[in-house]
Structure 1
């Protein structure tokens, strides 16, 4: 048996209530995109082995899964392509779920995506990556209750998806990953949230919720990229200001701020930073306009900023798991 998995990156558009003042903390908005993606394959073997990128991470993930289900350490995993790690594109969740889904198929484990996410320790703050793996598209999750009873655990503790829309296929993002410090993850991310603390939202949840409900969500239904872009920029400005004490500004890197300004000047309808960055994205109404934005960025990047540039379109399906 050979199991193949392909899972796509996501753009994170921001948290709704980062400090939990509404009674639910975090709550996320995001979108699955067609590029980059993780692809891997798993086959039964005499012992556990991994080849390809991120070998150490994949070994650790496989051991976690096999230990949880008390399975023999007999599988070979080959990683073919990888989402860049710690740049804000959600590689951690996609890799964990890709490994878990492949091994579940190899060993005949019947578990849905949310159970696998709980087993692999994903979804503590954002549920966007999990929902992107499940179904793709534009996603809003409800965050987690600030006070959770002891009876809520495992998959039930993962932020529930409250909105999932197919995203207009023509809308295209110009994406730039500057060669800057990688985004926060793991213990550094936990420490950052502890430094920010709670009770300092200054109405953040209310302001973002209003933009989300009255502008962003209707704009998808009405196929209005200009309104969506303005609402995206507004949400990003609010949430970026909230994170300013730990990331040094609205954007995590000065290169990111410069790229966002350049995208706006080039005609992007909305700009933002994905998660902790340093990835920056700009929305265009179609691929031709996005290509023009990318061309203009290409003129400044070699001279002033070092960055990887690419176009990304929405991906309205979940991960592909095949035997």
Structure 2
């Protein structure tokens, strides 16, 4: 009987959504990458001595009811992902708790079932669900009828590439305000123009995916960056132009200047990232650190693309 375990889940970054029109019956459809760093790592054990946070208990109680499991569980986050900055922390936490409880209660529910119970991947993006389940470069097929969006492409990123990430401090307050109103914003969005949806879809189908399959990282990066930049025009009512803020705009410019394969804003921001060959990653890290210091400071780090998804260590 399993009594104690640790779940380790990747973070992720968005490239963007393909279809915010929905005339074909599906909406969103998301591209993005799973990341090795940061990770959400949570210890869970069967114990009567619980000092769980309210957030942890919310998901524990939700899943315990769904699984018909009455065990007393103690859970503690020992490594976290920054919240509400475009790194997928909420989905990582929810699925980590569901996955861990699945093992502790000797159940066999699928990740997709656990995601739906927590309303992850069935409202807009399922990127976090498939980053958790598989890792890699992910494309989901959009949501329909409150079901978790299906995965339509998962690619294993080459080992010799790294993401250099920047999280500028100054815009975080603004992004948190947007996140508080996110449901209202998403429910009142105008339909995306069909011609624009067609352009984004063509970018995915005729440039991004075939370039990835052929190992043409230059063409792949061009497609990713064009997708992210083009999509920013749709969101400019809520942003300072194509990107969330001037700080991200300057970081994107710097990433491009120093030779990133692609440079993107993740979700609402302000997390920004560039993809580099591993030989160039440390140089890029130092250059982006200098750039972020000039715009109010923040965090900068290097991550591998996580090609494996979440895992549990049983103790």
- Which TM-score band (shorter chain)? over 0.9
Query: Which of 58, 61, 84 is the equivalent residue of 1:60?
Result: 58
Aligned-pair CA distance for 1:221: 1.8
Structure 1 segment 129-168 matched on structure 2, within 5 A? 129-145=128-144, 148=145, 157-168=147-158
| Aligned: 1:317 with 2:314 | no
Instruction: Describe the SS at the equivalent of 2:94.
Output: helix
Partner of 2:100: 102
Which stretch shifts more, 189-198 or 274-283? 189-198
- Counterpart CA distance in 2 for 1:31 and 1:252 is 20
Query: Which of 4, 9, 12 is the equivalent residue of 2:11?
Result: 9
Instruction: Describe the SS at the equivalent of 1:246.
Output: coil
Partner of 2:282: 291
Structure 1 segment 44-123 matched on structure 2, within 5 A? 44-46=46-48, 48-50=50-52, 55-72=53-70, 74-123=72-121
Cα 1:17–1:56, aligned 2, differ >3 Å: closer, same or farther?
same
Partner of 2:293: 302
- Does the 8 A contact of 1:47 with 1:73 survive in 2? no
Partner of 1:196: 189
| Aligned: 1:178 with 2:168 | yes
- Counterpart CA distance in 1 for 2:249 and 2:24 is 30
Instruction: Describe the SS at the equivalent of 1:13.
Output: strand
Unaligned runs of 5+ in 1: none
Aligned length: 308
- Counterpart CA distance in 1 for 2:290 and 2:44 is 42
Aligned-pair CA distance for 1:4: 1.2
Instruction: Describe the SS at the equivalent of 2:309.
Output: coil
Instruction: Describe the SS at the equivalent of 1:244.
Output: coil
Unaligned runs of 5+ in 2: none
Cα 1:10–1:74, aligned 2, differ >3 Å: closer, same or farther?
same
- Counterpart CA distance in 2 for 1:32 and 1:120 is 20
Instruction: Describe the SS at the equivalent of 1:122.
Output: coil
Aligned-pair CA distance for 1:292: 1.4
- Does the 8 A contact of 1:40 with 1:81 survive in 2? yes
Aligned-pair CA distance for 1:141: 0.6
Aligned-pair CA distance for 1:187: 5.4
Query: Which of 256, 259, 264 is the equivalent residue of 2:256?
Result: 264
